[in-house]
Chain A
Amino acid sequence: MKRRQIIKIFGAAGVASVFGFELYSRYQAPDYEYLKGRHYLIAEISETIIPATDTPGAKEAGVAAFVVHAVKEILERSEKNTFINGLKKLEAYCLNVYHKDFEKCTTKERSEALSNMREQFPMNNFLRKVKRKLTGRSFTEILRELVVVGYCTSEPGATRGLAFDYIPATYIPCTKLTPGQKSWATK
């Protein structure tokens, strides 16, 4: 439901009480000050999701800068807030449970903390679309999509994490997959 419709039905004042703080907070002005200060946190989170192995990880691929850019330019307002509020919750969770900041946590703790943030994340395409329509994407979903896009479309991610074929020249319809072969970076 769009903000305008909500106001039409309930009047601006009634919104918070009817839908609760969760939904209301989606429509606040996004806390960019906070976001700006969390570049390092996003870098750590993205590296947890896509770590450096024999190929570059999210940090080397500069994913955090893209995520911050995308939150500002690409997400719609309610999703901006979902994302920023999600980061705040993640920080609070680490302080409460592990008594330290996310970036001080072990790999295992970090993964745990991230999966704790997981809301219902339907695997089924159709269900995901329905949920998205109703509430917008969840923090986990937005985070993963932005991190993955940021990585797979970066130069290190596309050319070394994946296989980038700039000008293929020919189309070979059926090839044998070689062991360890990466998938193509672009469609």
Chain B
Amino acid sequence: MVYDAIVIGSGISGGWAAKELCEKGLKTLLLERGRDVKHGDYPTALLKPWEFADRLLTTQKDLQDQPVQSQACDPGSKHFFVNDNDHPYVQDSPFAWIRGYQVGGRSLVWGRQCYRWSDLDFEANLRDGFGVDWPIRYKDIAPWYTYVEKFIGVSGQSDGLPQLPDGAFLSPMQLNCIENHLKESIRNKNEERLLTIARVANLTSPIGSRGSCLNRNLCSRGCPFGAYFSSNSSTIPAALATGNLTLRPFSVVSEIIYDDTTRRAKGVRVIDMLTMQHYEFAARIIFVNASTIGSTSILLNSKSARFPDGLGNDSGALGHNLMDHHSAAGASGQHEGFQDSYYKGRRPCGFLIPRYRNINNGDEKLDFVRGYNIQGDGERAEWPDRMYESDETGADFKARLTTPGKWSVWMAGWGECLPYHDNKVYLSKTKKDKWGQPLVHIDFSFGENEKKMMEDIRNTCGEMLTEAGFKNIDTFIYHKSGGLTVHEMGTARMGRDPKTSVLNANNQIHNVKNVFVTDGSCMTSSACQNPSLTYMALTARAAAYAVDQLKKGEL
């Protein structure tokens, strides 16, 4: 049978592709390499700390099984991250490739921060010459942001900032005492800086059968109430409800099959993970949503007479310009005040200080281009911190351990990473995984611009805390490898020119028009905002375009 559409990958972007295509009437096959995870199938979601044998500490066995993933998960969420031994890759330089291979992908464990881009971001490459120009602008994507936000549910505060456009928000979460204090102090010293509550895909009022967030801050275990956005709770049920979706788990897509006569892709080749059987599935259009590095690997592996270097790789750009945000620099400090105040509940997010550097055409004469935003949170010291305050024993120690200590704030800069040709992924010629697929090499490092930006983050964070009367300020630049912000993007970029880019303004491969790539691999620059909202908006936009083209007989 020929499907109308195939979607590869069921994570944040693939779930959206499936929902949109199914809702528009296309018979859609959703291929997912991992196991099925039904909404509600979250074994640790309701466990109490003492119900974990290891009390939420990472064991030596965990470190053996997940040497890379354990940097991003804990025993409450580790089953939603891959076993690194089963899914190896080659690190030419240290790069943490954090993955979730299951239905829902990393939508189950993501941090849910949702920020729009602005033209400051879409015009950046054109303005300073790093990378190629984006083929779209804010006005092209703005209605799709709104469309996505309304469906997923984003709580947030409208702030009226040009560099961080407001969205269609549910009521915001609330700042606590120390965060409000820091906000006031920043506003008084620096009027172009604003501290605001994070914008997150956690519901503050119900949407359909999805309930309001109950403030448990255990989201990475899966939410039984559907109170944050995941493919499992939201897009996949919507796609299934149309009757048009066929979901096939345990299906590793190895390549996209190109037909030289029609000059289109005719389908995909799949390896059944359990039986090792090979299958081919045919469709009129294909959406590639296997996550940045996953999608690019599939394209690189799809070789034909017409495309010997990978599907759609006329430009040679495929695999290049890998980016990830850096989030290694920042500051923390303690405050002596507000000793009689506390909070109740566990808000599943922190605060945001939107970008304040290089927003006015570089008037500030900084030694780096682009910018960063600050993410952080304020809380009182509780037992995990207080155990280090003294080395006494007995009742005094216990009293200290079990009562709230000083307020503290930790914050760090999420910084833009420039697109560098040398930061790349490519396939091994010799090494293969269990399924006979070539291993991916990742070669990535941050450049001078990122390093200078980290210095500036450390300084401005330290200043803001000092000015707000914090003590014991620790300003830091951690040595974190790429990948650890888990915003890997680029490697199959959009652009205006087929000679320097892989995808056009509608996420179509320039010379293979029935293949759409709408996950992070399409990104032409990285901005500094958490990127998934943009992947979703681009996916919904491309799906509408694809269906329109199909109807017109153009595809």
The residues of A with any CB-CB pair to B shorter than 8 Å are 48-51, 53, 55, 57, 66, 69-70, 73-76, 107, 110-111, 114-115, 118, 121, 123, 125-126, 128, 140, 144-145, 148-150, 152-155, 158, 161-162, 164-177, 181-187
Contact = CB atoms under 8 A, between A and B. Distances in A.
A154 B386 CA distance: 17
A40 B35 CA distance: 45
B426 to A, nearest CB: 29
* B contact face: mostly helix, strand, loop, or mixed: loop
Given A115-B391, A175-B342, 14 more contacts: A49-B394, A50-B401, A53-B395, A70-B54, A74-B54, A154-B50, A158-B49, A158-B50, A162-B383, A167-B214, A168-B344, A171-B174, A176-B341, A183-B386
Contacts of A110: 393
A75 B52 CA distance: 17
Contacts of A162: 383, 402
A144 B405 CA distance: 18
B394 A171 contact: no
15 contacts: A49-B397, A51-B395, A55-B402, A73-B61, A74-B59, A111-B393, A128-B388, A153-B56, A161-B398, A169-B215, A171-B174, A171-B215, A171-B345, A174-B341, A176-B342
Contact of A175 (B52, B217, B344): B344
A1 B216 CA distance: 40
Given A158-B48, A187-B346, A107 B380 contact: no
B60 interface: yes
Given A170-B215, A174-B176, A186 B49 contact: yes
Contacts of A126: 474
B254 to A, nearest CB: 36
Contact of B393 (A49, A150, A170, A184): A49
Contacts of A123: 388-389
A171 B177 contact: no
B347 A171 contact: yes
Nearest to B398: A50
A148 B389 CA distance: 13
Contact of A69 (B53, B177, B397): B53
A15 B395 CA distance: 43
B404 A150 contact: no
Interface in B513-548: none
B463 interface: no
Contacts of B386: 183
B57 A70 contact: yes
Interface in B324-346: 339-346
Contact of A165 (B173, B174, B345): B345
B55 interface: yes
B312 to A, nearest CB: 44
A115 B217 CA distance: 37
Contact of B57 (A125, A149, A161, A175): A149
Given A111-B393, A166-B48, A177-B404, A53 B346 contact: no
Nearest to B400: A183
A175 B343 contact: yes
A153 B174 contact: no
Interface in B428-474: 474
B304 interface: no
A177 B397 contact: no
B341 A125 contact: no
B540 to A, nearest CB: 31
B85 interface: no
Contacts of A171: 173-174, 215, 343-347
Contact of B380 (A111, A118, A183, A185): A183
Given A73-B54, A172-B343, A186-B346, A153 B49 contact: yes
Nearest to B348: A171
B553 interface: no
A170 B58 CA distance: 30
Interface in B1-56: 48-50, 52-56
B402 A182 contact: yes
B506 to A, nearest CB: 41
A140 B403 CA distance: 22
Contact of B401 (A152, A154, A173, A174): A152
A86 to B, nearest CB: 14
Interface in B353-391: 379-380, 382-384, 386-389, 391
Contact of B55 (A111, A121, A153, A170): A153
Given A173-B174, A187-B384, A155 B395 contact: no
A73 B60 contact: yes
Chain A CB within 10 Å — which of B48, B180, B214, B394 has the most?
B394
B503 interface: no
Contacts of A55: 398, 402
B195 interface: no
B494 interface: no
